Amino acid sequence: MATTIIHNIKQLIGIQDSNVRTVSGRNLANLPVIEDAWLEIREGKINNFGSERERLPELLNGADEVIDAKHGIVAPAWCDSHTHLVFAKSREEEFVMRLQGKSYEEIAAAGGGILNSAAVLRNTPEDDLLESAQQRLNEIIRMGTGAVEIKSGYGLTPESEWKMLRVIRRLKEISPIPIKATFLGAHAVHPSFKSNPDAYVDQVINDMLPVVADEGLADYIDVFCDRGFFTPEQTERILEAGQNVGLKPKIHANELDYSGGIQVGVKHNAVSVDHLECTGNDEIAALKNSQTISTLLPQTAFFLNIDYPPARNIIDAGLPVALASDYNPGSSPSGNMFFAVALACIQMKMLPEEAINAATINGAAAMETENETGSITIGKRANLWISEPIPSYTFLPYSFGRAPIKHVIINGSIY
């Protein structure tokens, strides 16, 4: 059996027992660490780890490959549980419109935003979409991401939604990291249904969804439940239809308003409710006594210049929080999880330990890959990264804007 030993690890972080699904509330601030550590990989999986003084000479002797971490830290790869990384074109012209004073919602209402992306994607061949998405996947793996969720939602017609989901399926087939697919037909109302949005909801449920289900094109169902997009009632219809064909909800909620999205998600046992910029006491009360994870996307608040989600209130209520990039062309054109972690600390006052847990083990749980990714645990995939020599993991959010990676290891091999 092929074994690899990584040694000279300054800090091995994110160690968890195999039965840990999420870390919540006060426990989020506990990031288990071994100082001066080694880690053994066998057949692409984490096989063992310990501190330098124990057993190391013997292990080094028996290894097929030895990687000297040179006093870098080793961490479980990021688990990015919310992205839209299949898209046809960037939208920097809308970025400039926002700099000139237009709001994200104004641009969307005038036919820009998601509708702009959908119009371009409709005329883009599937192979071209695959090629650009594969480049983005490659890019985020190089920045330390070891599992990712990807949504449809730039199709908005049956054919185009299926096309996007086929691209995600093809990415799954070629990807070295786990990918989860989410059907987001209800990302925006297609313009031809502008005067009758409920008829668009009918189309999502009656035309798009059956094929998505029959062909196994998605793992989850999503709705953009917010002011100007879909109402809680429409969301409820779509989630129920999705659940009837075995798709669990993972929804966009409360980005633009106190929209009722969080409550609808919780009512339907959503795996996660995502965004949550508009979250007050009622929303937090709904999240308590649920299994639903609050996924926060600080890069979106940063890029759109809107209020950040109240991470502290959510954590202090004892809840689990995940962090994700929301990588998409409109509201977060970056999949750099190091920056998401830095913003979580700088803007939402999460501690480095909390932010790292939220971007690893809790991110994995928010896309149900926690049995194979999200922590340093014997038996999980050896998806991890080795940093440059840095003083400690606290340096990661402190030195914002960088991805201080020396090596990315995917399934036990240097990527």
Tell me the angle at which helices 337-348 and 352-359 cross, rounded to the nearest 10 degrees: 140
Minimum CB separation from ligand NIG for residue 152, in Å?
Answer: 12
Say whether residue 152 binds ligand NIG (CB under 6 A). no
Which residues, at least 6 apart from 57, have a Cβ–Cβ distance to it below 8 Å? Answer: none
Rounded distance, CA 363 to CA 368, Å? 8
Q: In the complex with Fe ion, which residue's Cβ is closer, 15 or 251?
A: 251
- Work out what residue 331 binds among ligand NIG, Fe ion, none; the CB cut-off runs from 5 to 8 Å by kind: ligand NIG
> Angle at the Cα of 297 (from 135 to 30), degrees rounded to 5?
105
Tell me the angle at which helices 158-174 and 114-122 cross, rounded to the nearest 10 degrees: 80
Q: In the complex with ligand NIG, which residue's Cβ is closer, 40 or 94?
A: 94
User: Taking the chain, what is the end-to-end CA distance rounded to the nearest angstrom?
Assistant: 20
Q: Which of 128, 190, 180 is closest to 158 using CA atoms?
A: 190
Residue 13: both structure tokens together: 């972080």
Q: In the complex with ligand NIG, which residue's Cβ is closer, 113 or 335?
A: 113
Minimum CB separation from ligand NIG for residue 81, in Å?
Answer: 12
Residue 6: phi and psi, rounded to 5, are: -100, 125
Say whether residue 329 binds ligand NIG (CB under 6 A). yes
Site string for Fe ion, 295-334 (x = CB under 5 A): -------------------------------x--------
- Work out what residue 117 binds among ligand NIG, Fe ion, none; the CB cut-off runs from 5 to 8 Å by kind: ligand NIG
Say whether residue 252 binds ligand NIG (CB under 6 A). yes
Q: In the complex with ligand NIG, which residue's Cβ is closer, 39 or 168?
A: 168
Q: In the complex with Fe ion, which residue's Cβ is closer, 161 or 326?
A: 326
Interaction with Fe ion in 68-87: which residues (CB under 5 A)? none
Determine the distance from the C-alpha atom of residue 354 to the mean position of all C-alpha atoms in its chain, rounded to a whole number: 16
Amino acid at 30: N
Given 78, 183, 224, 338, the residue binding ligand NIG (CB under 6 A): 224
Minimum CB separation from ligand NIG for residue 28, in Å?
Answer: 23
Say whether residue 300 binds ligand NIG (CB under 6 A). yes
Q: Are 199 and 193 in contact (CB under 8 A)?
A: yes
Minimum CB separation from ligand NIG for residue 364, in Å?
Answer: 20
Site string for ligand NIG, 83-102 (x = CB under 6 A): -x------------------
Given 161, 222, 283, 326, the residue binding ligand NIG (CB under 6 A): 326
Say whether residue 114 binds ligand NIG (CB under 6 A). yes
Residue number closest to ligand NIG, CB atom: 330
> Angle at the Cα of 56 (from 52 to 61), degrees rounded to 5?
155
- Work out what residue 299 binds among ligand NIG, Fe ion, none; the CB cut-off runs from 5 to 8 Å by kind: none
Q: Are 397 and 136 in contact (CB under 8 A)?
A: no
Rounded distance, CA 310 to CA 251, Å? 18
Stretch that binds ligand NIG, among 48-56, 113-121, 360-368, 404-412 (CB under 6 A): 113-121
Minimum CB separation from ligand NIG for residue 255, in Å?
Answer: 5
What are the E-state strand segments in 205-257?
220-225, 248-253
* Burial classification of residue 159, based on how many CB atoms lie within 10 Å of its CB (0-12 exposed, 13-18 middle, 19 or more buried): exposed
What single DSSP character describes residue 24? B
Rg (CA), the chain: 21
Rounded distance, CA 88 to CA 115, Å? 12
Say whether residue 182 binds ligand NIG (CB under 6 A). no
- Helix ranges (H only) for 27-101 are 56-62, 92-99
Q: In the complex with Fe ion, which residue's Cβ is closer, 154 or 385?
A: 154
Considering Cα of 117, then 118, then 120, then 126, what sign does the dihedral take?
Answer: positive
Minimum CB separation from Fe ion for residue 328, in Å?
Answer: 6
Residue 165 half-sphere exposure, CB side, CA atoms within 13 Å? 26
Q: In the complex with ligand NIG, which residue's Cβ is closer, 40 or 226?
A: 226
Residue 230: phi and psi, rounded to 5, are: -120, 140
Say whether residue 255 binds ligand NIG (CB under 6 A). yes
Q: In the complex with Fe ion, which residue's Cβ is closer, 326 or 370?
A: 326
Minimum CB separation from Fe ion for residue 256, in Å?
Answer: 12
Given 76, 330, 335, 363, the residue binding ligand NIG (CB under 6 A): 330
Instruction: Give the interface with Fe ion as residue ranges (CB under 5 A).
Output: 326
Residues lying near ligand NIG in the complex (CB under 6 A) are found at 84, 113-114, 117, 224, 252, 255, 300, 326, 328-331
